Structure 1
Amino acid sequence: MGWIPENWDVGRISDYTSKIGSGSTPRGGSQIYVSSGVPFIRSQNVLNNSLLLDTDSLIPRGIHEMMKNTFVKPGDVLLNITGASIGRSCVVPKDFVEGNVNQHVCIVRTVKEKLNNHFLQIFLSSYSGQKSILTMQVGGNREGLNHSGVGSIKIPIPSLKEQKTIAQCLSTWDTAITKLGNLIKVKKKRKKGLMQQLLTGKKRLPGFDGEWEEVSLSNIAKRVTEKKYGAK
């Protein structure tokens, strides 16, 4: 694990969890999806640090009840264990009601008195966690992670109080980064609109007036060349 404080422990994820397991796809696949039903969580719904639910993959309640081993609960850590998105993880929100996962998503349910779920998710998304996931992959193309592999991943364990404090600190940073990203998107959109107005003359800057003249580029440029294909 590298250098860690002396009063921290090191253990396997399975030592601090009550459930490690994935689901399955019901017979019929996407053909059984309904317009009103129970969320069926797939790997594309598990993003980095967030769960994106949609209405494109809802299953009938009857099928949901038949798949009790794949029930998802608020606070569960979801980890993608196959495909290109392997290693992506998130914590199921507190306001989540019910749902199931398919075979590409692993449910990791922590023992709350031992391991904070947000701390676990942060570790899984860290450099050390991602390196462990890469090492534990199985199969010829090494694009799969089984339940025993997930459980055998080693994790540093500070006190529960310190786990929560670390998770809260990094969560604050995530929130700030998200807000900054949204602000940047808004600013870019506003700039694009302003460019359109300024470059068409619909909006004029202070101190400028009069009509614009439309000309061909060849009439105002000294030279216009076209690069031929393959030319250096």
Structure 2
Amino acid sequence: MGVKEVSASYPEVPVAAGGAVPSGYKQTEVGLIPEDWAVSTVGAEFHVQLGKMLDSEKNIGVSKLFLGNRSVQWGHVDLSELAKIKLTPSDLRRYRLRAGDLLVCEGGEVGRSAIWTDPIPECYYQKALHRLRPRRGYDVNMMLSVLAIHASTGLLRNYVTQTSIAHLPKEKFETLPIPLPKRAEQEAIAEALSDADALIESLQHLIAKKRQIKQGAMQSLLTGQRRLSGFSDEWERKRLGALLEICHGRSQREVEVRDGRYPILASGGRIGWTNSFLCDRPSVLIGRKGTIDRPQYVDTPFWTVDTLFYSIIRAPNNAKFLFYRFCLIEWKRYNEASGVPSLNARTIEDVEIYSPGADEQPAIAEVLSVIDAEIDGLENRLSKTREIKQGMMQALLTGAIRLPVTGAA
């Protein structure tokens, strides 16, 4: 099935006068749904099985790969951190995963779910996960979306036991109400949502590819390994201090206002607004304390707090080029504290790099800026597609959108 664009327009259930239930719908434990839908429960529609308890002293048998809670993310399984657990012959039969199993997090971010698709030949799962297998044909792709909606609307919180961390006990989970359309409509809903999932996945892959291209371009262009057409002058080895001056931020207490014109920046990003600025020229910013390995580029007036350095670019150098060059430096190597990571202004200025001439710097920055703009456009599209899918789930799983179906239930 090809990737299809998804629409941002959805018909809503018409609201009857005085807030009455509209014709053709009924009020249920899961909200308004069509009259020809039923309401069921997780336990009625699925066999629910918790995974194997981890106990290195008591577990015996053969060692097998298993999934933990962190491996199950929304809509996909992460196989990067698989561990092994010892299992007996009965454990092997009871806890082996098969294609189509729906895995649901029992603790932490309860309800977070993914479908097992047999990406590896053999795998098992531990007690922090519920495994759902349909009793009578409930579509697991639709169930994944139902759990996502229940999690986003807060309905799942009513079934959670809260201690130090949240838990979703099997007994409570099995009583969770879920909408029950006819089988054919379940499949139609799941297929419609899978189109949005396919677009999201393709955008994620494209963004990852673009980032790899950008990283390769930075490595070659910012070190002189590859030269742009029309430039051949030798690069000079220089201290960063010869290219820019590192400046300290200041407390925002006396300048912060609610509706200011300029951002107040810290090492983690914007923390407020002000009508004053410390710098009104393009600048490279880097953390003095805390997050020291994420340079920022700002080309509008701003204020920085004491935990974030900013820079005054020495003419005729280019701020955007220097920002990209900062991104190649492993700043954690220059950490000067044993506790919270810290940098010193003099240490930054003493770092040496090879620098091109004033004409070549902006040319390199422009090439990298074009790639950044492409990535930003794809990320905006991805964010919008995710919003649209959320709206699709809400509309489809409540029957506000009825899809044409063929065949009997």
User: When the two structures are superposed, what TM-score results if normalisation uses the length of structure 1?
Assistant: 0.79
Task: Report Cα offsets for 1:41-78 as digits up to 9, x if no partner.
Answer: 321222221233468433456x1424644443332211
Q: Which of 99, 118, 129 lines up with 1:74 in the alignment?
A: 99
Distance of aligned partners of 1:200 and 1:96 in 2 relative to their CA distance in 1, 3 Å threshold: closer
**Superposition CA RMSD, Å:** 3.2
Distance of aligned partners of 1:193 and 1:64 in 2 relative to their CA distance in 1, 3 Å threshold: same
Matched, 1:4 2:33: yes
Q: Per the alignment, in what secondary structure is the counterpart of residue 40 of structure 2?
A: strand
Q: Which runs of 5+ in 1 are unaligned?
A: none
Shift of 1:147: 1.0
Give the aligned partner of residue 86 of structure 1: 110
Give the aligned partner of residue 108 of structure 1: 132
Q: Which of 227, 244, 248 lines up with 1:227 in the alignment?
A: 248
How far apart in 2 are the matches of 1:41 and 1:20? 16
Distance of aligned partners of 1:227 and 1:136 in 2 relative to their CA distance in 1, 3 Å threshold: same
Give the aligned partner of residue 136 of structure 1: 159
How far apart in 1 are the matches of 2:73 and 2:101? 14
Q: Is the 8 A contact 2:38 2:181 kept in 1?
A: yes
Q: Is the 8 A contact 1:43 1:85 kept in 2?
A: no
Distance of aligned partners of 1:39 and 1:196 in 2 relative to their CA distance in 1, 3 Å threshold: closer
For 1:147, the aligned partner's letter is K
Task: Report Cα offsets for 1:187-228 as digits up to 9, x if no partner.
Answer: 11211221232223332222333333444555566xx35317
Distance of aligned partners of 1:77 and 1:204 in 2 relative to their CA distance in 1, 3 Å threshold: same
How far apart in 2 are the matches of 1:48 and 1:29? 32
How far apart in 2 are the matches of 1:121 and 1:218? 54
How far apart in 1 are the matches of 2:40 and 2:109? 26
How far apart in 2 are the matches of 1:95 and 1:199? 39
Q: Per the alignment, in what secondary structure is the counterpart of residue 48 of structure 2?
A: strand
Distance of aligned partners of 1:219 and 1:148 in 2 relative to their CA distance in 1, 3 Å threshold: closer
How far apart in 2 are the matches of 1:218 and 1:94? 55
Structure number having the greater strand percentage: 2
Structure number having the greater helix percentage: 1
Matched, 1:25 2:24: no
Matched, 1:13 2:13: no
How far apart in 2 are the matches of 1:208 and 1:106? 61
How far apart in 2 are the matches of 1:68 and 1:42? 18
Comparing 117-126 and 24-33, the one that deviates more: 24-33
Q: Is the 8 A contact 2:61 2:89 kept in 1?
A: no
Shift of 1:229: 7.7
Give the aligned partner of residue 173 of structure 1: 196
How far apart in 2 are the matches of 1:9 and 1:150? 19
Shift of 1:144: 0.9
Give the aligned partner of residue 40 of structure 1: 66
Shift of 1:119: 0.9
Comparing 89-98 and 139-148, the one that deviates more: 89-98
Shift of 1:80: 0.9
Give the aligned partner of residue 211 of structure 1: 234
For 2:171, the aligned partner's letter is S
Q: Which of 119, 124, 137 lines up with 2:142 in the alignment?
A: 119
Q: Is the 8 A contact 2:66 2:82 kept in 1?
A: no
Distance of aligned partners of 1:80 and 1:206 in 2 relative to their CA distance in 1, 3 Å threshold: same
Q: Is the 8 A contact 2:59 2:85 kept in 1?
A: no
Q: Is the 8 A contact 1:73 1:96 kept in 2?
A: no
Q: Per the alignment, in what secondary structure is the counterpart of residue 134 of structure 1?
A: helix
Percent of pairs identical after alignment? 24
How far apart in 1 are the matches of 2:98 and 2:208? 33
Higher relative contact order (CA 8 A, sep 6+): 1
Shift of 1:174: 1.6
Shift of 1:170: 1.6
For 2:97, the aligned partner's letter is V
How far apart in 1 are the matches of 2:110 and 2:212? 33
Q: Is the 8 A contact 1:64 1:100 kept in 2?
A: no
Task: Tell me which structure has the larger Cα radius of gyration.
Answer: 2
Give the aligned partner of residue 76 of structure 2: 50
Q: Which runs of 5+ in 2 are unaligned?
A: 1-29, 252-304, 307-409
For 1:20, the aligned partner's letter is V
Q: Is the 8 A contact 1:50 1:90 kept in 2?
A: yes
For 2:156, the aligned partner's letter is I
